[in-house]
Structure 1
Amino acid sequence: MRIVIYPTYEALSAKAAAHVMQLMAASDQPLLCPASGDTPAGLFKAMANTYRPSQYAGWSFVGLDEWVGLNGADEGSCRYSINRDLFRPLGISENNICFFDGRSTDLPGECLRAEQFIREKNGIDVAILGVGMNGHVAMNEPGSAIDSRTRVVTLHPVTKKVGQKYFNQPQVLDEGITLGIGTLLESRHIILMVSGKHKAVIVQKMLEQPATNELPASLLLQHPSVTLFLDADAAVCLSNREMNNNQ
């Protein structure tokens, strides 16, 4: 595990984007798994503003998660966010995207489709992930098994509450569809991004306590190529030992 800490969210986003570009350039058949949400949005902006569209030629993308009952047509959905922040600014063709349809009447089929797409592309090269207030990653809630695969999950009360910020009106959020911890651990590289003082305590727990499925993000720290990108606010609770890992 590598921990890197930057003074601002903007610096974190720019450095994380450069790291993504470097890792993806090493693949003959690049497959990126991007998270939606506030934290990776700056990384996506840096990708769109700093690099040429031709640099994304040949890339494929697999969705990380989605609210059950929603899809890209719904403002507030994960796909809506990724369309706005990444796919449209980069000019990505729909032919290069596999993303969950949370409105599908065959959600198990959606899970199988994502796993098959990943296999066909010879695995995920880079997974860009955030960490939830309860330690979840994607929609792998506390209690998720380390070998869990893509599946439909019941959402934790904290996730339901925090998720309301993406919607203009109250939204029923009971279930999600997500790549599993086991699926994500098969990625060649994992980038975990955390920003803001409101995430400082969960970052401290993730790094200073033993890995446990009650804090799913901690399970990803066992990956052989994982980088934890923090801004200074997210790192305020860390001891000097962890701070010294900023190399």
Structure 2
Amino acid sequence: MNLKKFADHNTLSQFTAEYIAKKINQKPDSLLCLASGDTPIETYHRFVALVQAGKVDISQCTFVGLDEWVGFGPDDAGSCSYYVYRDLFNPLHLRPDQIHVFDAKADDLATECKRIDAVIRSKGGLDLLLVGMGMNGHIALNEPGTPFNLGCHVVELAESTKTVGQKYFTSQTELTKGITIGLRHLAEARDVILLVSGEKKASILRQALTGPITEEVPASIIQTRPNAHVWVDAAAGSLVS
């Protein structure tokens, strides 16, 4: 893995946006899977600006959703896909055929997992996967204890994830399960970026990067990817060198 520290969140975000644009310019029909959450929002705003400025053409790209709260969808404020549509898909004016997100309201979630697995397989795997990291070390909604070899799956949410997830909603919301791509997809992706920002992530980042590779710290799988990028701001990276 390649660790790179940035002075602040804005510098981190600009660098990441430019990197995504560069990768698309190298492979215009890229399959990208980009996280929701607070950390990448500024990256998306800056990436959209690059597209609008004509610095990159996304007309041949395909985008896959990373994860979703079970029972929620793009029209539900607070859902994972709500924010990705708001900050990325809608400003980019993507065509419907360019977007594949989990239908977390589906009656058959196992079939929904197979559908997203099939999309990724049909494109020959992910060209670029951008993820963040939870306070318990989760990647996407792969909670501690999730096998590294899983593809898309449904997961029981950890208590800490349920608590932190409330920040995305305007009122108390019951969160019980998630649907997510698996860490197998991370292991197989051609390019992986782990973005981490903020002092509160410093301790778990150190554990993920320097501790044992274990399913109890899902983000530790990044150690198995020699060419993965771990890009952090100074606060998040204060305990690692």
Length-normalised TM-score, structure 1: 0.94
Equivalence for 1:73: 75
After TM superposition, the structure 1 stretch with the greater mean CA deviation from structure 2, 91-100 or 218-227, is 218-227
Q: Contact (CA 8 Å) 1:24, 1:126: kept in 2 or not?
A: no
Equivalence for 1:36: 36
Q: Contact (CA 8 Å) 2:3, 2:231: kept in 1 or not?
A: yes
1:187 aligns with one of 176, 179, 189: 189
Equivalence for 1:11: 11
**Residue identity in the other structure for 1:2:** N
Where does structure 1 lack aligned partners over 5 or more consecutive residues?
243-247
Tell me how far apart the structure 2 counterparts of residues 212 and 21 of structure 1 sit (CA, whole Å).
33
> C-alpha offsets along residues 33-69 of structure 1, whole Å, 9 cap, x if unaligned?
0100000111101101133466111010011100000
- Counterparts of residues 158-237 of structure 1 (less than 5 Å): 158-237=160-239
* SS of the residue 1:51 aligns to: helix
Q: What is the root-mean-square deviation of aligned Cα atoms in Å?
A: 1.2
Tell me how far apart the structure 1 counterparts of residues 176 and 130 of structure 2 sit (CA, whole Å).
24
Give the share of equivalent positions with the same residue, in percent: 40
Structure 1 stretches of 4+ with a deviation exceeding 6 A read none
Tell me how far apart the structure 2 counterparts of residues 220 and 180 of structure 1 sit (CA, whole Å).
13
Equivalence for 2:46: 46
Q: Contact (CA 8 Å) 2:68, 2:104: kept in 1 or not?
A: yes
- Counterparts of residues 119-158 of structure 1 (less than 5 Å): 119-158=121-160
Q: Contact (CA 8 Å) 2:209, 2:222: kept in 1 or not?
A: no
Tell me how far apart the structure 2 counterparts of residues 57 and 221 of structure 1 sit (CA, whole Å).
33
Matched, 1:24 2:34: no
**Residue identity in the other structure for 1:175:** K
Where does structure 2 lack aligned partners over 5 or more consecutive residues?
none
Q: Contact (CA 8 Å) 1:188, 1:225: kept in 2 or not?
A: no
**How many corresponding residue pairs?**
239
**Residue identity in the other structure for 1:98:** H
**Residue identity in the other structure for 1:37:** G
* SS of the residue 2:116 aligns to: helix
User: What is the CA distance between 1:28 and its match in structure 2?
Assistant: 5.0
User: What is the CA distance between 1:23 and its match in structure 2?
Assistant: 2.1
